[in-house]
């Protein structure tokens, strides 16, 4: 999943960066060179993952991360991520 323009605007504002600075620091082109995606750490973790289940930019979380980790259920996802489900309120369950 790629970052939307709204994602980059929201994340840049959340981090008090210009969109250009945010993109340079935290994004890269997808393998098809058609969209921006969040960078991963060398071990494959998201650049914004803190510990095993906390998103450092949760209030501005991009669409590509919606439902993490509660709604991730594709085959093999636990091999990629050992996140613990996060309790959410009813508004966040949508």
Report pLDDT digits (tens) over 17-28.
Answer: 999 999 999 999
Percentage of the chain beyond pLDDT 70 is: 69
Please name which of 72, 66, 70, 75 lies closest in space to residue 88, comparing C-alpha atoms: 70
| Full-model pTM | 0.69
pLDDT at 10 over 90: yes
Percentage of the chain beyond pLDDT 90 is: 26
pLDDT at 94 over 70: no
Find all residues with CB under 8 Å of 88, minimum gap 6, and list them.
70
């Amino acid at each position: 999943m790629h970052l939307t323009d709204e994602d980059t605007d929201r994340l840049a504002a959340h981090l008090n960066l210009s969109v250009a600075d945010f993109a340079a620091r935290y994004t890269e082109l997808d393998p098809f060179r058609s969209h921006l995606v969040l960078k991963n750490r060398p071990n494959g973790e998201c650049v914004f993952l803190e510990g095993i289940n906390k998103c450092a930019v949760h209030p501005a979380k991009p669409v590509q991360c919606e439902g993490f980790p509660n709604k991730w259920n594709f085959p093999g996802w636990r091999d990629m991520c050992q996140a613990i489900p996060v309790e959410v309120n009813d508004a966040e369950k949508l």
